[in-house]
Chains A and B, each alone.
Chain A
């Protein structure tokens, strides 16, 4: 087993610094052409499909998706990819239905369209829901990666938050959506390069006598390659059906009704470009997520043959070593070391049996027994760490960054950490731009100052961007003290995403649906999903299906009842 350094080298810091300064310089440079609110919100509606499409992908890909899903693949396998099965179909539905309505309505925000179709209170309701959910979650977008990166860098969380937030705010305030989209293009290029680099490096780091086929056979034997769960149990999180149906509704709600996405593709230079940008995303998303998860699986195989730390989170490990009863600590350390060594030998025996046509079935059984022993040892370690910390310790999100820092050399660690930075900053940039746009278009110019003039409107839009950036940094810096409130915030969005989708469904699919039906239907949808979440163990991917269908049915019912009453009165 080889020892590994656990800190970044000067070359890594240089790559990271070059990335941050380069992306800010690019954002400021392309933003020099932003001269009015149309430029600021929709990049002058001049984007080609590939630029808008990469921006759609970049806004969706958060840093925690990158580090979290690799960790998930390491610990539980690639089943999470099912989450995205419905996405390409959602893109088809949106391209054929909502996008033409948005585009031809000539709107800055999705919610503006609802005023044209229904009434102003439906627009206000949906925009308030967007600002509440996105405004709170933008802090988590910043906090989650800063938590992981701070541990890796040895920095305070505040310092990491300040760096990511200030760099992003600078170019989004200056250049608006044009800066967001072009920096997203660069950042997605970096992300794709980073993904391929990770897969390539993980393959090259396998021992000389372990082929890629052996590695995949080990991953398969441990269940890490399983992606097609055909179970019809609605409580299971990632099945083919929850992915296809629930994932499709979730993707329709997010890409069709969330301003942070709508604003990206409305910047297309024609309806064709906007449609193609969504279809482009639908085309690439599943393969991209597959590669990210495959990286996690290859890291899992890598640590069959190399020493793994007792805990991936360095701060938790230090706490454990300082505070755990020595005898307990020695026991878990010894068991982890012994079971890891046993799995190492079993994995080599499995590869050898395959190579030399030995008893592969027996070798596979031996490997599985060793894998189960190691899993039990890791669980015992986490339980001891949780006891010492006084809360549940789950360090899945630290697996990939720890691997990067300890095993990648020659600036590669800096490159991959830059990719994680890029994922965080691109998501943050799109969210800030859309929050400022919704605040300005749906509220400020309607209720505060209608005739500010072009210069005033642009200045106000920039100030709102800065405000939301500062708000995100504030929420992120306090998130550690919020505890379970973070989970509440994360769940908050899923409770009414589907309801907003239902309102848009009523708007474009049923010409007869009334404003009253849409407005009260939205509340019925939110109530339905709250009840389902409270009373049933149904997996969260189904929530959007429940609420969207409830809104649609209730909206039509209220419309019909209103019409019949009007008929009676008439």
Chain B
């Protein structure tokens, strides 16, 4: 029988690193992605 991966407990999810909750982290990543898209749009249309 193949050895299992090193055992982990369900509470392995350590403390949330920033922003207090995972929901806030996901929101930050989504807002950043939208901001990057807005910057790309600005870069495309900027009157150089």
Contact = CB atoms under 8 A, between A and B. Distances in A.
A451 interface: yes
A34 to B, nearest CB: 13
Classify chain A: how many residues form its interface, as a range.
35 or more
A507 interface: no
A147 interface: no
A271 B12 contact: yes
21 contacts: A38-B3, A42-B5, A42-B6, A44-B6, A45-B5, A88-B29, A89-B30, A95-B22, A95-B26, A106-B5, A107-B5, A108-B2, A216-B46, A216-B48, A217-B48, A220-B46, A226-B44, A228-B40, A271-B8, A271-B14, A272-B16
Nearest to A81: B40
Interface residues of B, number: 30
A282 B33 contact: yes
Contacts of A36: 3
Contacts of B2: 37, 108, 440-441, 445, 457
A566 to B, nearest CB: 32
Interface in B1-48: 1-8, 10, 12-17, 22, 25-26, 29-30, 32-33, 36-37, 40-41, 43-44, 46, 48
A91 interface: yes
Contacts of A391: none
A250 to B, nearest CB: 16
B4 A106 contact: yes
A450 interface: yes
Contacts of A103: 8, 12
Given A228-B40, A272-B13, A279-B25, A108 B1 contact: no
A421 B36 CA distance: 29
A290 to B, nearest CB: 7
A116 to B, nearest CB: 12
Given A225-B43, A228-B44, A272-B13, A37 B26 contact: no
A263 B40 CA distance: 32
Contacts of B15: 272
B32 A108 contact: no
A96 interface: yes
Q: Taking chain A's interface residues, is the majority helix, strand, or loop, or is none over half, making it mixed? A: helix
Contacts of A155: none
B36 A287 contact: yes
B32 A45 contact: no
Interface string A206-228: 00000001101100100001111
Given A271-B13, A457-B3, A227 B33 contact: no
Given A81-B40, A92-B26, A96-B22, A213 B5 contact: no
A103 B12 CA distance: 9
B35 to A, nearest CB: 11
Interface of A: 36-38, 41-42, 44-45, 78, 81, 85, 88-89, 91-92, 95-96, 100, 103-104, 106-108, 213-214, 216-217, 220, 225-228, 240, 266, 270-272, 275-276, 279, 282-283, 286-287, 290, 440-441, 445, 450-451, 454, 457
Contacts of B41: 227-228
Given A38-B6, A45-B5, A457-B3, A213 B40 contact: no
A451 B1 CA distance: 5
A67 B16 CA distance: 39
Given A42-B6, A276-B17, 18 more contacts: A38-B4, A81-B40, A85-B37, A88-B29, A96-B22, A100-B13, A220-B48, A225-B44, A227-B40, A228-B37, A228-B44, A271-B13, A279-B25, A283-B32, A286-B36, A287-B36, A441-B2, A454-B3
Contacts of A216: 46, 48
A282 B48 contact: no
A283 to B, nearest CB: 6
A471 B43 CA distance: 44
Nearest to A211: B48
Contacts of A457: 2-3
Contacts of A225: 43-44
B26 to A, nearest CB: 5
Nearest to B18: A276
A213 B43 CA distance: 11
A37 B3 CA distance: 7
Contacts of A44: 6
Contacts of A287: 36
Contact of B12 (A81, A217, A270, A279): A270
Nearest to A46: B6
A38 B16 CA distance: 27
A270 B3 contact: no
A70 B46 CA distance: 22
A270 B8 CA distance: 8
Nearest to A457: B2
Contacts of A108: 2, 5
